[in-house]
Structure 1
């Protein structure tokens, strides 16, 4: 049996492979796949099998995926293309006879107004329709999503958002990767749907305070109305569609969609999620 991880040339996938190795999984039993195989060299040096898998060009069969394997489908990054890409990988998994598929989805994917959710909900539906035993890892917000805001605060002393008093229960990618590794390497997860968030939901005032402590300078939270936020983003060079998408995500935070703390993430990893301040300190 092999554990096959897609997206291993991206940001989350290699951390999942690293977590599997930390759990003591034999590197010879891990297959790390990605579109950019040249980025998989460090994993190959650890004894992990590396293979190319392009979501836009999924073959009918591959020699490295077979009966009894467990597959992690790390969601694609190309908004608008995810559903057909994911369908191609799921079809390959069905043809290959995999034992179980895990998928990195979005919070409450099938019952939310979150802007990123529709493609994830559609993917969950097609996985259910495939008949494969599944596990859905509904990943919340990565703390790293605010690394650019940290750099802006370093320069300007300001954090801008239209999220109001909304809170974000974020965690670093490494915590989500550890949860995925636990699901891949252990039994008892068939049919499970995990809502994965950090243990603590922080406000943007608290985000600004964390930035200030690490940077050693005053940082304030500038609250914007959605229209103001959209106009500011456009003035920075974002197109209208992207600016609207960012503002919609902040509205989701204002509505409380990303501030949940169900505890699934820390239960899967067996440890508390990394606090906001600790992650921010790692960016210096």
Structure 2
């Protein structure tokens, strides 16, 4: 039995889809906070069970009989450490034999504030006696969707990443890699640094949007504080704006660049490209 937490999220659904390419639906368990949101998965034969990071009493039942588990990191920044601890403790109590976890690219040395809770979770996993795979994911190309869509009208893409390069890939790429590891797990604790095959700067992103849209688009590089203020001005919560601005500042320091090809090797294909991601976003906006 292979289980995936957070299976109703964008990454989780991609992982389930990737597993269904080779595994029997009845051997896959989707652990979600609200089972009604994934009725389509149940209709496909996937086991759907309730398991809530914030309700530890639900996790033991959700993990009963599970052999291999993928813990998709919580989206609730600031609450991740206790939430992940609850899942890990339940997995240990129910005898799960292998655990994979979605972390952050080079989390142990990353300057990003986002890394802190991932490092704490990795430390908890390192204490387990079962094999563990730490999937240190880089940025998703989908993270730029809204910026791509609005750029032709605004004439600009803003950020604080300077000339920092971003080795992004599609969620589906990371999901394919995760599914590969779940099918053929390592026999010891293993860390995988995962990033896109190619990289780009925010200026190159703006140039690609301009090329495909036929409209002038430039990159406006700002200070971290200026970018955070802009994000707040357009409606983002202050805390989330601060995290995004911090991530951009870290990008300028190389935090999201990697020339490692482990992701495409595990996925069994080249990772998605910037050009394709821009084309998809612009087409969706029409």
Q: TM-score, normalised by structure 1?
A: 0.94
Instruction: Find the partner of 1:194 among 185, 192, 195.
Output: 192
Q: Which runs of 5+ in 2 are unaligned?
A: none
Runs of 5+ unmatched residues, structure 1: none
Aligned twin of 2:43: 45
Q: C-alpha separation between the residues in 1 aligned to 2:110 and 2:203?
A: 26
Q: 1:61–1:96: 8 Å Cα contact kept in structure 2? A: no
Q: 3-state DSSP class of the match of 1:282?
A: helix
Q: CA deviation at 1:132?
A: 2.7
1:136 to 134, 137, 140: 134
Alignment partners' CA distance in 1, 2:101 and 2:62: 19
Root mean square deviation of aligned Cα: 1.7
Contact residue 100 and residue 190 of structure 1 kept, 8 A: no
1:59 is paired with a residue whose SS is helix
Residues 53-92 of structure 1: matches in 2 within 5 Å? 53-59=51-57, 62-63=60-61, 65-66=63-64, 69-92=67-90
2-structure distance, mates of 1:52, 1:29: 16
Match of 1:124 in 2: 122
1:91-106 correspondence runs (5 A): 91-106=89-104
More moved, 163-172 vs 54-63: 54-63
* Residue of structure 2 aligned with 1:258, choices 256, 259, 263: 256
2:20 maps to 1:21:
yes
Pick aligned residue for 1:269 from 239, 243, 267: 267
Change (3 A) 1:155 1:102: same
Q: CA deviation at 1:232?
A: 2.3
Which has a greater percent of helix? 2
Aligned to 1:152: 150
Query: Which of 175, 186, 205 is residue 173 of structure 2 equivalent to?
Result: 175
